[in-house]
């Protein structure tokens, strides 16, 4: 692994960070099944700190992630916070890049009042580019984040995976750069079309919800500016 200015490898620095912020009750480690969480979980194990890993079950995650976690990480706890996802859709409408209500319901739920150990990195998005190693995520609920690999590059993550021979979801071998919800509004139009074909059942659930929401807006007297639910659907998956 690459060295820092202090002469330590970046994984040694990450381990120091994990040890520094360890709470007495242990960490709540968020495990998504993506390669960043795989690395973070391995670093926590090497740090010899107390933690329990949790996966927030998503109705729109690729089944490949479920299979991967079951096979390689049977100790991970499966938490269900998104039972009301499709009902929430009827009140909020489809998730948009400017309105991602789905993330708080699916990805960020759980661990309230805990110190959460997470694999988020600055390089992933503009939103995350300002994150620090330690974040007070929700001061009112005393929820904190510790992000030990926040300053790692994608290549550093994969170098660590190779050096430690860690298992990872096979979707990466098929060209997927990041794993997450199927038809996430942050997908490119190309990835969206690919996922519609690859995961027809999930795509069908999205489309059914779009049809129902379109009709519901008419019944409420607040119709959408589209001639049909088909036009609404095509606009949404175009990612405009």
Q: Which domains does the chain have, with CATH numbers?
A: 10-176 (3.40.50.620), 182-240 (no CATH)
- Residue 122 CB contacts under 8 Å (≥ 6 apart), including other chains: 128, 129, 130, 131, 150, 151
Residue 3 has pLDDT above 80, yes or no: no
Residue 84 has pLDDT above 90, yes or no: no
- pLDDT, position 123: 80
Give the C-alpha separation, 210 to 193, whole Å: 17
- pLDDT, position 141: 67
Residue 224 has pLDDT above 90, yes or no: yes
pLDDT confidence of 80, banded at 50, 70, 90? Answer: confident
Residue 132 has pLDDT above 90, yes or no: no
pLDDT (mean) for 126-131: 81
pLDDT confidence of 5, banded at 50, 70, 90? Answer: low
Strands 51-56, 27-30: pairing is parallel
Give the C-alpha separation, 180 to 184, whole Å: 7
Residue 217 has pLDDT above 80, yes or no: yes
119 or 81: whose pLDDT is higher?
119
pLDDT (mean) for 39-60: 96
* Per-residue pLDDT reduced to its tens digit, 96-126: 888 788 888 887 888 888 999 999 998 887 7
Residue 173 has pLDDT above 80, yes or no: yes
pLDDT (mean) for 2-14: 80
- pLDDT, position 230: 96
pLDDT confidence of 154, banded at 50, 70, 90? Answer: very high
Closest by CA to 179, choosing from 160, 154, 143, is 154
Contact in structure between 58 and 104 (CB atoms under 8 Å): no
Strands 143-146, 134-138: pairing is antiparallel
Q: What is the mean pLDDT of the chain?
A: 91
- pLDDT, position 159: 96
- Residue 8 CB contacts under 8 Å (≥ 6 apart), including other chains: 16
pLDDT confidence of 150, banded at 50, 70, 90? Answer: very high
């Amino acid at each position: 692994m690459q060295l820092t200015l202090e002469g330590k490898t970046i994984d040694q620095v990450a381990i120091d960070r994990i040890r520094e912020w360890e709470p007495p009750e242990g960490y709540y480690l968020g495990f998504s099944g993506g390669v960043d969480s795989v690395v973070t979980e391995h670093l926590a194990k090497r740090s010899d700190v107390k933690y329990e890993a949790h996966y927030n079950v998503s109705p729109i995650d690729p089944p490949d992630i479920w299979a991967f976690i079951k096979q390689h990480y049977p100790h991970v706890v499966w938490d269900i916070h998104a039972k009301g996802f499709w009902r929430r859709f009827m009140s909020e409408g489809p998730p948009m890049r400017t309105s991602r209500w789905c993330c708080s319901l699916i990805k960020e739920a759980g661990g309230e009042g805990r110190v959460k150990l997470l694999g988020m990195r600055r390089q992933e998005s503009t939103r995350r580019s300002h994150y620090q190693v330690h974040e007070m995520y929700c001061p009112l609920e005393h929820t904190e984040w510790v992000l030990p690999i926040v300053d790692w590059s994608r290549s550093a993550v994969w170098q660590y995976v190779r050096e430690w021979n860690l298992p990872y979801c096979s979707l990466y071998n098929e060209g997927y750069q990041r794993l997450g919800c199927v038809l996430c509004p942050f997908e490119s139009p190309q990835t969206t079309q690919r996922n519609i074909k690859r995961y027809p059942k999930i795509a069908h659930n999205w489309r059914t919800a779009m049809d129902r929401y379109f009709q519901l807006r008419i019944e409420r007297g607040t119709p959408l500016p589209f001639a049909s639910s088909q036009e609404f659907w095509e606009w949404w998956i175009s990612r405009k």
